[in-house]
Structure 1
Amino acid sequence: MNLPAPASDTAAGRLSIRDEAKPFILIGAIVAGFAINRLADGALTDYGWLVQVGLFAVVFSIMAFVEIKGVGRAFRNTKSTALAVTTNFVLVPLFAWTLGWLILHNHPDLWAGVILYTLTPCIGWYLIFIDLAKGNLEWGLAMLPIDITLQIVLLPLYLWLLIGKVIPIQPLVLIRSVAIFLLLPFAAAYAVRILLTRWRGRDFTYGPYKHAISEVKLWALVIVVTAIFATQHTLEGADISNVALIIATITLFFIGLFTIALTVGRVFKLDYPDTAAMVFEVSARNSESVIGIAAVAFAGHPLVIVAILIGPVVELPVLIALTKTMLHLRHRWTWPTTPATPDLSPAQG
């Protein structure tokens, strides 16, 4: 099957050097921001507006090539789609809140950050791991529009019900942050892509423009992360001394997601390709899209941001390990076979 252009690069069957280096780049940005904050002695707080401008650019670049079509193709695989949606948007939030309560109840900022990191499913690079694990890539691709729609719709509710119990949130601030740093960038990015395709053509849009956007996404994120910490009031070393606790919690979170998704697949007798696809569709998270919300809704709580940014550092090695685990289980376990797998490829004219 020929995959649509927006996802073909993502599902290339291997991790790019940029993807592998990203966790370490983010760590460097945190350290740089912390150092600048100490040198400036908290005197840069008036430059917080730079963070908001940069965050809009980051989320715009993330949303630039998210497709919102293809929902019908996912619903042809009804059972797998229903299980993935239930797991992602019911079981995962409950599991994340409970895990945070067990480990981080004495650290509300860290607890809120971990929950926020875990609330949004990935909208792109999980396809790489589905491909590497020989999963159902076509169905994984068809789940993209469902995931992006549901996380936009449900995120305000989750923030209010789950994180609002940990750190008080003003409803108007919450609505404003979701609108400015999720809905507006998504609408703007989609409009720009459509208009640019009509003006300059598909080759330019998915060639030079897409390459430029990928550069913007990484380096705008680096600038934003550095600025978030540099523009806080004076930070102390103790503020980031709980990194090991965050890493342990998020590692347990990923192990739990893998166990939940694999168990659901086995109990409901999904075949290996669908089970592998669901494991990574459920396990991978979308940390960048919630940084803007965290920066506005939880201003003055830098540890919320720390917890969100530590997530990708743990996520990459865990997803690589899960890929190897799934390939091992592919041959060691007996999997149901699907006599007539639904055709999820686009209809051919």
Structure 2
Amino acid sequence: MRDWLERRQITVYLGAIGLGIAAGSIAPDAAGPLEFAVTPVLAALIYTTFLQVPLADLRGAMRNRRFLGALLVANFIAVPLLVWLLFQMVPSRPAVQLGVLLVLLTPCIDYVVVFTHMGRGKARLVLAATPLLLVVQLFLLPFYLWLFLGPGMADLLRPGPFLSAFLWLIATPLILAWLTEFWAGRHASGEQFTAATAWAPVPLMALTLFLVIAAELPRIETALADVLGIVPVYIAYVLAAPIIGWAISRLAGLDYGAGRALVFSISTRNSLVVLPLALAAPFDGGLVAAIVVTQTCVELLAELAYIRLVPALVTERSTRQR
């Protein structure tokens, strides 16, 4: 079952996205319940992915200073410079600008682990770095908003959504995965359970894609003119980010597994976490949220390409030190 699903995962994901578009168009009133279901399903997806990632050497991953240094440079120096270039293409409407900055300046701390694993990168490195990414973006995002938009926008940042996402989408699945590994190491039933969940990430990812698209499509449709104008910016980001990540991984001398992890981190943004911030914006919160959600849709489609292209871009040969 696992092999069959992994061979056909792109078809499965595209089918889920198609069903999500159909559901969001036919039943827009269901957006609320569907959005509520995203977090528990995403948590289940991350939990099953953690079961496939060797967590025993997580402590060693946390001490990988070369990777962590490259990760910080990529996400908090290279990405803001790229965003500054792309920001010149963003319409001068404040709500649109705020939405773009909120989502592009914040590195993902949840499903990036899943995509890194699917893209054959060292997911445990990304997992180990999530607390650091969380803390640094909490401190730097107000500064970046002030730099791009002025002092008033920096006051929008609230730590609640970030901390809640870390608790429910990283800490809780990680603890459950550790407990499951402990169970599997001492009882045959635990080992059988772990083996039985090996097929779960692909259908759970498909369900996540369906829920996100179906729940957020009504927001996009209400601001379609603004959304269409910002899509080229997001496309430019998903094209440029992996190349920048690959270049930084080579300069840092990372091995190919760590290099792929870096590429996925720089390419994947924190859209589901910053969505509450967008909705709480003091002006045009619905439009700010629509701009954020649009990036989610573009990114999810890009991730389907990344899990095939990143292993080809970042190979053992391409990262071999001279």
**1:296 and 2:283 equivalent?**
no
Partner of 1:16: 6
Partner of 1:342: none
TM-score, normalised on structure 2?
0.70
Q: Amino acid of the residue matched to residue 157 of structure 1?
A: F
**1:32 and 2:22 equivalent?**
yes
| Paired residues of 1:64 and 1:186 also in contact (CA < 8 A) | no
Q: Amino acid of the residue matched to residue 28 of structure 1?
A: G
Distance 1:120 1:188 in 2: 13
- Pairwise CA distance, 1:49: 5.2
Matches within 5 A, 1:226-237: 226-230=214-218, 232=219, 235=222, 237=224
Distance 2:19 2:153 in 1: 28
| Paired residues of 2:165 and 2:273 also in contact (CA < 8 A) | yes
Q: CA 1:245/1:22 → structure 2, altered by over 3 Å: closer, same or farther?
A: farther
- DSSP 3-state at the match of 2:88: helix
Please state which structure has a larger fraction of its residues in helix: 2
Partner of 1:250: 238
**1:152 and 2:138 equivalent?**
no
| Paired residues of 1:103 and 1:249 also in contact (CA < 8 A) | no
Partner of 1:74: 61
Distance 1:57 1:190 in 2: 15
Identical residues among aligned pairs (%):
13
Q: Amino acid of the residue matched to residue 91 of structure 1?
A: I
**1:103 and 2:89 equivalent?**
yes
Distance 1:204 1:283 in 2: 34
- DSSP 3-state at the match of 1:16: helix
- Pairwise CA distance, 1:324: 3.4
Distance 1:20 1:93 in 2: 28
Q: Amino acid of the residue matched to residue 256 of structure 2?
A: A
Q: Tell me, which stretches of 5 or more residues in structure 2 are unaligned?
A: 280-285
Q: Tell me, which stretches of 5 or more residues in structure 1 are unaligned?
A: 1-8, 132-139, 337-349
TM-score, normalised on structure 1?
0.66
Summarize deviations over 1:311-341 as a string: whole Å, max 9, x none: 23234435644543445x938x9843xxxxx
Distance 1:234 1:26 in 2: 19
Q: CA 1:235/1:153 → structure 2, altered by over 3 Å: closer, same or farther?
A: same
Partner of 1:57: 41
Partner of 1:344: none
- Pairwise CA distance, 1:284: 0.9
Partner of 1:123: 113
- Pairwise CA distance, 1:152: 3.2
| Paired residues of 1:60 and 1:186 also in contact (CA < 8 A) | no
**1:193 and 2:177 equivalent?**
yes
Distance 1:323 1:214 in 2: 18
| Paired residues of 1:116 and 1:159 also in contact (CA < 8 A) | yes
| Paired residues of 1:295 and 1:305 also in contact (CA < 8 A) | yes
**1:112 and 2:101 equivalent?**
yes
Q: CA 1:94/1:245 → structure 2, altered by over 3 Å: closer, same or farther?
A: closer
**1:177 and 2:161 equivalent?**
yes
Partner of 1:87: 73
Q: CA 1:206/1:295 → structure 2, altered by over 3 Å: closer, same or farther?
A: same
* Count of residues in Structure 1 that have an aligned counterpart in Structure 2: 298
Partner of 1:206: 194
Q: CA 1:312/1:49 → structure 2, altered by over 3 Å: closer, same or farther?
A: closer
| Paired residues of 1:117 and 1:286 also in contact (CA < 8 A) | no
Q: CA 1:17/1:244 → structure 2, altered by over 3 Å: closer, same or farther?
A: farther
| Paired residues of 2:5 and 2:202 also in contact (CA < 8 A) | no
Which of 274, 277, 280 matches 2:260?
Answer: 280
- Pairwise CA distance, 1:293: 1.7
Partner of 2:283: none
- Pairwise CA distance, 1:227: 1.5
Structure of higher CA gyration radius: 1
| Paired residues of 1:116 and 1:163 also in contact (CA < 8 A) | no
- Pairwise CA distance, 1:150: 1.8
Distance 1:193 1:204 in 2: 14
Q: Amino acid of the residue matched to residue 43 of structure 2?
A: V
Distance 2:16 2:90 in 1: 23
Q: CA 1:170/1:65 → structure 2, altered by over 3 Å: closer, same or farther?
A: farther
**1:259 and 2:239 equivalent?**
no
Distance 1:205 1:289 in 2: 32
- Pairwise CA distance, 1:222: 1.2
Distance 1:83 1:236 in 2: 39
